[in-house]
C-alpha cells in the first residue's frame, strides 16, 4: 500500500497556482485510475483505489501549505505504512519550470510545506517528486509568485511536467523508483549554462594564446 500526498492549498482561489502542483498531479492520477478524491478525514480530502495491483491512498491536506505535516502525520499513523510507502508531490522554485526531481529521501530545502511534513513525521527518508515552477524574476515577491498561475511557455512546460509527475508516481508505486529517476531527473539547466560559459571562456583563452604565438 502507498499513500501519495499532493501538497497545496484548499480553495478555488488557490487552484492552478504554482503552489498547488501537488494537488494538480493528484488530480491527473485520480482521473487515470478512476479514484474519487472526496472523502474527508485525517485533516485531508482523499480517495482510495489501485494503481496497477497496488492499493493507494491519494490525499490532499486541508491544513493549508505551512501545516501540511499535520495531515501527513495523521495519514501515516492511521494506515501504519513504512517510510518508503509515502510519496509526496510538491512545487519547487529552485527548479526551472517543467523540470522534475525525484528523490528517495532528503531535507525540506526552502519549502515550508515540506518543513512541516518532516517536522511532524520526525523522519525524512520518504520518496518525493518535486515539480519545478521557477524562481520569481525581476524582484517579484515570492508569495505573489507561488500564489499565481504560470503563463506562456512556462505554463506549457508545467502542464507537461504534471503528467510526467503522475507517470513517475506510477513507476514508484510499482517499485521502480530508479527507473523514474533515470527517466525524469534532468541535469539542472543552470549547471549547463555555467559549463557553457566556462567552455566559452576556455575557448577564448586558447584563441588568445594562439594569436600571441
Determine contact, residues 185/130, Cβ cutoff 8 Å: no
Within 10 angstroms of residue 191's Cβ, the number of other Cβ atoms is 9
Q: Catalytic amino acids?
A: 19
As given in the structure block, the three cell numbers for residue 208 are 588568445
Q: What is the C-alpha to C-alpha distance for residues 7 and 19, in angstroms, rounded to an integer?
A: 8
Determine contact, residues 94/135, Cβ cutoff 8 Å: yes
Q: What is the C-alpha to C-alpha distance for residues 29 and 113, in angstroms, rounded to an integer?
A: 21
Within 10 angstroms of residue 112's Cβ, the number of other Cβ atoms is 15
Amino acid at each position: 500500500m502507498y499513500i501519495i500526498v499532493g501538497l497545496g492549498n484548499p480553495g478555488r482561489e488557490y487552484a492552478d497556482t504554482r503552489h498547488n502542483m501537488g494537488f494538480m498531479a493528484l488530480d491527473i492520477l485520480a482521473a487515470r485510475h478512476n479514484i474519487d478524491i472526496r472523502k474527508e478525514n485525517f485533516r485531508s480530502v482523499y480517495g482510495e483505489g489501485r494503481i496497477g495491483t497496488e492499493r493507494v491512498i491519494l490525499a490532499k491536506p486541508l491544513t493549508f501549505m505551512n501545516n501540511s505535516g499535520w495531515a501527513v502525520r495523521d495519514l501515516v499513523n492511521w494506515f501504519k505504512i513504512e517510510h518508503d510507502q509515502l510519496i509526496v508531490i510538491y512545487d519547487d522554485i529552485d527548479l526551472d519550470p517543467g523540470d522534475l526531481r525525484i528523490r528517495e529521501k532528503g531535507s525540506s530545502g526552502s519549502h515550508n510545506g515540506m518543513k512541516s511534513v518532516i517536522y511532524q513525521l520526525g523522519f525524512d527518508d520518504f520518496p518525493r517528486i518535486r515539480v519545478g515552477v521557477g524562481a520569481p524574476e525581476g524582484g517579484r515577491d515570492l508569495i505573489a509568485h507561488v500564489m499565481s498561475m504560470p503563463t506562456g511557455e512556462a505554463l506549457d512546460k508545467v502542464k507537461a511536467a504534471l503528467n510526467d509527475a503522475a507517470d513517475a508516481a506510477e513507476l514508484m508505486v510499482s517499485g521502480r523508483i530508479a527507473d523514474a529517476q533515470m527517466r525524469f531527473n534532468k541535469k539542472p539547466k543552470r549547471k549547463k549554462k555555467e559549463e557553457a560559459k566556462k567552455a566559452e571562456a576556455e575557448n577564448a583563452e586558447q584563441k588568445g594564446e594562439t594569436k600571441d604565438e
